[in-house]
Amino acid sequence: MFFKRFYDEDLAQASYMVGCQKTGECLVIDPIRDIQTYLDEAQAQNLRVTHVTETHIHADYLSGGRELALATEAQFLVSDEGGEGWEYTYSTPNMQKLKHGDTFMVGNVKVEVRHTPGHTPESISFLVSDTPRGPEPVMYFTGDFVFVGDIGRPDLLDEAAGGQDTRFKGAKDMFHSLKTQFVNLPAYVQVWPAHGSGSACGKSLGAVPSTTVGYETDLSWWGRYVKNDDEQGFTDELLSGQPDAPLYYGRMKTQNRDGMAVLGEVAPLPELSAAEANAKMEAGVMLIDPRSKEAYHAAAPQYSINLPTPNKLETWAGWLLRPEDRDYLLLAQSAEQAEDLRRRLWMVGLDNVVGFVKSVDGLDTKAVPPIQPAEVAQHEGALILDVRNKTEYQDGHIPGATQLHAGRVAWKLDELPKDRPIIVHCQSGARSAAAASFLGSEGFKVLEIAGGFENWEKQQPEQVERD
């Protein structure tokens, strides 16, 4: 049996290839939209992608399942669980719906479908057996059901997709799924989840790539609750302390359910002159500037947003940019960098990139230097906007600050003042650079606190409030 894990560090997202080397067939689980990585690996291993599947309707990124299945003419296998409102509403060639207990073969590799609701009602997991070695399961691909050190949060639908108290039913389902579809498996079965540390799909995901059924059952925070059949204690702890959910999750969930756009063959991005870029930006196109925040502060182009690479371009783009609002340009030093940035934006459904410009030279720019904590008092009447997570805010915040997670700013513009300055900060200055530049591009009077709350606490420790 062939096995490989693919991992996107930005969104902390894992996808997998499982193959039978004897028959030359392979399955890809939870693929991203940049499908070339799977095509290249399959070719390198002399495998054919014959099956593509998803563990659930994803909310944090746009799935590449349909794209990969069409490109390879593979069977596209998706959940048929969850009930009304949770079915895939689109059809595509070779699409097949899966129910709990279904099995299929990828060469000599057997895959059994387990319905594991909790994170979402339609969630399924895949229990894999390498049949030449024996009938026993060896790997469990759990999606957002069980992570390393945590389990999938059941409140995302309430937090980001307009649900009403779905968290309580989700928590109940999760408890039942753990009791019936996890802890009764052999302890040695390897667990390979869809996310790692840094994902907002849980609150305490581990950094190592995999775990085992036995380890999680015996040592996870939830294990004792399941062992003691304490559903209420489990629910209380599961729902407490979950981080803010970015509101773009609602768009991702809808697009993945109703059918994401197929990219197909994509033409190279055109390079624009400074004059052409200025004209497009005057007409409403936004420039995505991936330089460091220091470089951006020194020369910020008009109608631009600063998404410093390489760490969080996809995450922050999902947080702040809405493809239905406008088209986008990229600032990139080369055509190769532009294509790399473009492919990363596909992860969060930002397909409408219309070109790139190599330099800020010739663009309309201005300096936007951050201010020091001591200067905040000079801006009487300003709104101090804390774009950190609510749990960070509760641990300590600037007196009078309003907390609004950066992943919610783009949906709350009508609640922010345009008649007075907004002083933006996060923990250290990275997230606030993105949020402040976005607000500036939307016409708000924006300032940033240099070094964020960490710098404020260091310079003015007596001026910190804690909830």
- List the catalytic residues: 426
Tell me how far apart the alpha carbons of residues 194 and 123 are, in angstroms, rounded to a whole number.
12
Q: Is the dihedral of CA 353, 356, 360, 361 positive or negative?
A: negative
Tell me how far apart the alpha carbons of residues 196 and 208 are, in angstroms, rounded to a whole number.
7
Backbone angles phi, psi at 394, to 5 degrees: -65, -30
Tell me how far apart the alpha carbons of residues 10 and 311 are, in angstroms, rounded to a whole number.
6
Q: Which residues contact 159 (CB under 8 A, 6 or more apart)?
A: 242, 244, 245, 249
Tell me how far apart the alpha carbons of residues 246 and 284 are, in angstroms, rounded to a whole number.
25
Tell me how far apart the alpha carbons of residues 252 and 347 are, in angstroms, rounded to a whole number.
10
Angle at CA of residue 405, ends 289 and 259, nearest 5°: 70
Number of H helices, E strands in the chain: 15, 22
Task: Give the number of residues written for the chain.
Answer: 467
Decide: residue 384, CB within 10 A, 0-12 exposed, 13-18 middle, 19+ buried. Answer: buried
The type of residue at 385 is L
Question: Rounded to an integer, what is the distance from CA 424 to the centroid of its chain?
Answer: 23
Tell me how far apart the alpha carbons of residues 423 and 451 are, in angstroms, rounded to a whole number.
13
Residue with tokens 């096995």: 3
User: Closest by alpha carbon to 435, among 291, 320, 284?
Assistant: 320
Note whether 178 and 226 are within 8 A (CB): yes
Tell me how far apart the alpha carbons of residues 15 and 38 are, in angstroms, rounded to a whole number.
10
Q: Is 22 left (phi over 0), alpha (psi -120 to 50) or beta?
A: alpha
